Amino acid sequence: MEKTSKEYTEADKKAVEKNFCANKILVCGMGPKEYNRISTCDTAKEIWEALQIAHEGTTQVKQFEDEPDTSDSSIMALKMRNLLEEFKRYYGIRKPSILGVREHIFTGSVSSLAWFMSAQEMSFVTLGQRVLANPLKIRMHYGHPDVFDRFWFLTRGGISKASRVINISEDIFAGFNCTLRGGNVTHHEYIQVGKGRDVGLNQISMFEAKVASGNGEQVLSRDVYRLGHRLDFFRMLSFFYTTVGFFFNTMMIVLTVYAFLWGRLYLALSGVEDSVAADTTDNNKALGAILNQQFIIQLGLFTALPMIVENSLEHGFLTSIWEFLTMMLQLSSVFYTFSMGTRAHYFGRTILHGGAKYRATGRGFVVQHKSFAENYRLYARSHFVKAIELGLILTVYASYSPVAKGTFTYIALTISSWFLVLSWIVGPFVFNPSGFDWLKTVYDFDDFMNWVWYRGSVFAKAEQSWEKWWDEEQDHLRTTGLWGKILEIILDLRFFFFQYGIVYQLGIAAGNKSIAVYLLSWIYVVVALGFFNITAYARDKYAAREHIYFRLVQLLVVVFFIVVIVALLQFTAFRFSDLFISLLAFIPTGWGFISVAQVLRPFLQNTMIWGTIVSMARLYEIMFGIIVMVPVAVLSWLPGFQPMQTRILFNDAFSRGLRIFQIVTGKKPKSDL
């Protein structure tokens, strides 16, 4: 029975209003999101305008308040219909199969590292991809927010890949398939998608390691082989530069540094530089000029040129120059040099041995201090050991080259190489928050020594035990083939050249250039290994219970060592300085033994030699750790470096907050039990 208008209560009126609202929802066919959009609307006109914005768009764009994590996604979503219409247009003779859009990196203001990364990415996702799409017609899919023609790909095998090793960079293989099957990839500038990038150095390095390893696997893939055979010559050159060629060129730059420094070292130790310096003919002047041109190859200015051009286009020339100079003052050259070492190491290792694997970066907002042990585990083989090797070459070259007598000539010849060495050693700590805090440096070194000497169970993790980490670092040698092992041994033989070159410069050699001098020098190596084994045996047997016998063995070794030195000083041309110079010769020899033994591990692991190899490797890791720690400790001890590093790394507001945090929490963290 219907009620009259006077009989309706307030509850009845609210029920009728809800009923009308429900009818509107049913008529419009709205879901929960659309209902939430119109739930605050009062009139039918407001409801209709809200639905127009959500579905068809209006002639007048409404104002949106964007949340920080959306980064313009609401506004850019209005352009999505226009972007999808691009699938109907012809670009050349084909319709597009992938619609590429530009990116906007919105994490660049977090720190200087994030700014460097965003600037590097910006030049590629805007200027680079624009040129690749038109006129080069070689743009692929690089994992950026592109739009795929789903039906086109589903009818051509899809985009899934079978191998998690070869296809670890799964994104670009979609572009390979598209190009091989006659697809077309375009790029559109009127829409952009916000994206956050990694903001910590360790995150960035793991990401670049994954990408470099993936490019190494691409070189070995059949997709790149087919593209190389089917593309015309000019598109093939563009394809090479934009995919594996960039990483190949980076590896060649590092190999050029190695070849140049090893070549100069050979010329200095063999006496060729002495003869060239003594001969003043024009021909030898030309030879000297040719030998000194290596620094031109290492010019990193050209790698920053695309970034300057893109900033000039979007912000103006003066602004781009100012930003470039600001980046230089914030040590961007150190970051890019360090990144070059990461790419070269993992790309070269994958080419030699394969075995690329996914490296989880976390993709989180991580701006925190990383311990010395963690940095050492991540960068020991890719940067620290290589930098120490190059630094040793430069030191020996400075000691025995006549060119080094001219200070300006030596500096001009080796300044770029020394910059490379310092960047690879100090880089992780320059960009590590509180990296030069003296208290944290002391605690970090204590943690590093505990990690090296930790003797846990077989269930220990690499973060806890050095031996477990050392085993994991040899995984690529277990999976490589015969040729990979042979090439690895050939490359490791370079460490024995130090001994061959330096022993002839010792005073005990008395100018003798006979091969017998080199052969006799191996007596020192054999004796050193013998005493090392005797000391290790005495430590294992007597150090725990009968400590006096262990001290007696140590005393006898020291006495024997002193007697031998006195005898050499008395009866030969041995000089006391030879004792320190010989370390430059024989320490690399020991590392060469360890490197070759790692390759031959399947044959040596069950023998008595393997225990000696592991003990020697542990001592070398301690030595490498001390060498890396020395410049960090010096910079931490000097006043003013920590505030300056914080100001370079972060903005002013974050620097003040970090300073307060250091004051409040300036104590040693409790160790995990």
Q: DSSP for 289-351?
A: HHHT-HHHHT--HHHHHHHHHHHHHHH-HHHHHHHHHHHHHTTHHHHHHHHHHHHHHHHHHHH
Identify the weakest region by mean pLDDT among 94-108, 515-529, 616-630, 638-652.
638-652
Q: Where in the sequence is the domain holding 50, given as residue range(s)?
A: 1-57
Is residue 629's pLDDT more than 90? yes
**Residue 28: what are its φ and ψ, rounded to 5°?**
-80, -15
Q: For the residues 287-307, what does the mean pLDDT come to?
A: 57
Is residue 436's pLDDT more than 70? yes
Instruction: Tell me what pLDDT residue 438 has.
Output: 87
β-pair type (98-105, 147-148): antiparallel
Number of domains in the chain: 1
- Beta bridge mates, 495: none
In the three-class reduction of DSSP (H, G, I as helix; E, B as strand; rest coil), residue 527 is classed as helix
Cβ proximity of 248 and 347 under 8 Å? yes
Instruction: Assess if residue 215 is contained within a domain.
Output: no
Instruction: Assess if residue 302 is contained within a domain.
Output: no
Instruction: Tell me what pLDDT residue 540 has.
Output: 74
Instruction: Tell me what pLDDT residue 292 has.
Output: 56
Instruction: Assess if residue 582 is contained within a domain.
Output: no
Instruction: Assess if residue 20 is contained within a domain.
Output: yes
Mean pLDDT score of the chain: 79
Instruction: Assess if residue 564 is contained within a domain.
Output: no
Instruction: Tell me what pLDDT residue 672 has.
Output: 42
Instruction: Assess if residue 51 is contained within a domain.
Output: yes
Instruction: Assess if residue 230 is contained within a domain.
Output: no
pLDDT in tens, 601-615: 989 888 888 888 998
Distance (Å, whole) CA 216 – CA 256: 19
The answer to whether the pTM exceeds 0.85 is no
Say which amino acid occupies 112.
S
Contacting residues for 231 by C-beta, under 8 A, at least 6 apart = 138, 239
Distance (Å, whole) CA 365 – CA 550: 52
Instruction: Assess if residue 49 is contained within a domain.
Output: yes
Buried (b) or exposed (e) across 51-81, using 16+ Cβ within 10 A?
A: bebeeeeeeeeeeeeeeeeebeeeebeeeee
Q: For the residues 5-18, what does the mean pLDDT come to?
A: 67
